[in-house]
Amino acid sequence: MPWSKIKPDTDELNYCHNGNCGGRQISYAQAVNEGLRQSLTLDERVFVMGQGVDDPSGMFGTTRGLQEEFGKKRVFDTPLAETALTGVANGAAIGGMRPVYFHNRPDFLLLAMDQLVNHASKWHFMFGGAVNVPLVLWACIGRGWGSAAQHSQALQGIFFHVPGLKLLMPSTCYDAKGLLLAAIKDDNPVLILDHRYNFKQKGMVPEDMYTVPIGKGIVRRPGRDVTIVAISHLVADAFMTAEKLAGQGVDVEVIDPRTLRPLDEALILNSVMKTGRLVIADTGWKTGGVTAEIAALVSSKAFRFLKAPIERVACPDLPTPAGYTLEDAYYIGQSDIKHAVMKTIDFER
């Protein structure tokens, strides 16, 4: 199934001003695969499970070759039984192992909500810090031709809501590896949501092991007029929009939170205090979602610095259509972000 045939392979944008430019150029899938391989090599407690982790495609290429290298006891396929198997992963984590549970789609995580929300995310608090669940769950948002309503949902708003669950959404190959390694080292449950569009890019990634700190965002492009907080692959759309608007005299700052929970509030607030205008772009639904929470944060803590109403760019509150033309109209991109930026610029009190 050509899940993402509508987007060609490409090199990552030039974010070198922030210093993450070392290493070799490899694909997004290779970056994740390298992080898994290094974790499996370094720590015998780490194992990888999930439907299709051993098939020829290797979960979009992220787990390719790992079973041949580390054996079926440490990298193994699982049936469609998400509730039961998340319970198995929880038990293994409580018992001292470090499971990494891969899912093709975040849609399937809804079947594991009991184990994930009622148990894994609460264990640390319920037992006063005496018991931890060092579990990593990974899922890929599958936007592309025909993915439709049950295989392409961006459910970060739902998981963003759960205390005790760390939520990561990388946008670059460098962060994909570094955040994965940080998640595996973390002593409590971490959910990584990747976007299928990220897998169409190649970027600079160091060969050595390194971690990207959970809870620390990054400025992808400095600017003075408008702040865009963009999530996952929309960071690239925001960056390209900013570059085009620079030619029109609008200087846009682009922030990539990298992790939604914990959220780097200081980075966002300091940027808004400088620019006075804010656009938030997320791949998920608008109502009750990520854009709403960040807008509430800024309204509460930096309202007096705002020169214009906060603009939110998110998908319509509708299930994703399957047809190509409807899907193309449903999703947001550069034109939507540009329109939102110009609304903040043109606003007059």
Per-residue pLDDT tens over the stretch 176-228: 999 999 999 999 999 999 998 899 899 999 999 999 999 999 999 999 999 99
Which percentage of the chain shows pLDDT scores above 90? 82
Tell me if 97 is assigned to some domain.
Answer: yes
Q: Has 161 been annotated as catalytic?
A: no
- Would you call 102 helix, strand, or coil by DSSP? strand
Give the structural domain span for 41: 10-205
**How many CB atoms are closer than 10 A to CB 25?**
12
Indicate whether 198 and 251 sit together in one domain: no
Indicate whether 153 and 241 sit together in one domain: no
Q: What is the pLDDT of residue 17?
A: 55
Tell me if 5 is assigned to some domain.
Answer: no
Tell me if 325 is assigned to some domain.
Answer: yes
Indicate whether 161 and 245 sit together in one domain: no
Indicate whether 28 and 151 sit together in one domain: yes
Per-residue pLDDT tens over the stretch 115-142: 999 999 999 999 999 999 999 999 998 6
Q: What's the rounded Cα separation, in Å, for the pair 184 and 175?
A: 14
Per-residue pLDDT tens over the stretch 247-295: 999 999 999 999 999 999 999 999 999 999 999 999 999 999 999 999 9
Indicate whether 64 and 169 sit together in one domain: yes
Indicate whether 196 and 227 sit together in one domain: no
Indicate whether 26 and 161 sit together in one domain: yes
Indicate whether 111 and 148 sit together in one domain: yes
Indicate whether 24 and 127 sit together in one domain: yes
Classify residue 162 as left (phi > 0), alpha (psi -120 to 50) or beta.
beta
Residue given tokens 């047809």 in the structure block: 323
Q: What is the pLDDT of residue 4?
A: 47
Which of 151, 161, 195, 233 does the annotation list as catalytic? 151
Which percentage of the chain shows pLDDT scores above 70? 95
Q: What is the pLDDT of residue 283?
A: 95
Q: What is the pLDDT of residue 167?
A: 98
Q: What's the rounded Cα separation, in Å, for the pair 342 and 94?
A: 50
Residue at which a domain ends, from 205, 230, 264: 205
Tell me if 210 is assigned to some domain.
Answer: no
**What is the DSSP secondary structure assignment for residue 255, as one 8-state letter?**
E
State the pLDDT confidence band at 1, using cuts at 50, 70 and 90.
very low
Q: What is the pLDDT of residue 330?
A: 92
Residue 250 belongs to domain with CATH number: 3.40.50.920
Indicate whether 67 and 199 sit together in one domain: yes
The answer, yes or no, to whether residue 19 has pLDDT greater than 60, is no
DSSP β-bridge partners for residue 227: 253, 278
Q: What is the pLDDT of residue 145?
A: 63
Indicate whether 42 and 182 sit together in one domain: yes
Greater pLDDT, 145 or 4: 145
Tell me if 212 is assigned to some domain.
Answer: no
Q: What is the pLDDT of residue 144?
A: 65
Q: What is the pLDDT of residue 39?
A: 98
Tell me if 262 is assigned to some domain.
Answer: yes
Give the number of domains in the chain.
Answer: 2
Indicate whether 201 and 225 sit together in one domain: no
Q: In what order do the strands lie in the sheet with 201-205?
A: 10-11, 201-205, 24-27
Q: 322 vs 104, 105, 145, 156, CA distance in Å? A: 18, 16, 7, 21
Tell me if 1 is assigned to some domain.
Answer: no
Residue at which a domain ends, from 205, 237, 266: 205
Q: What is the mean pLDDT of residues 86-110?
A: 95
Residue 191 belongs to domain with CATH number: 3.40.50.970
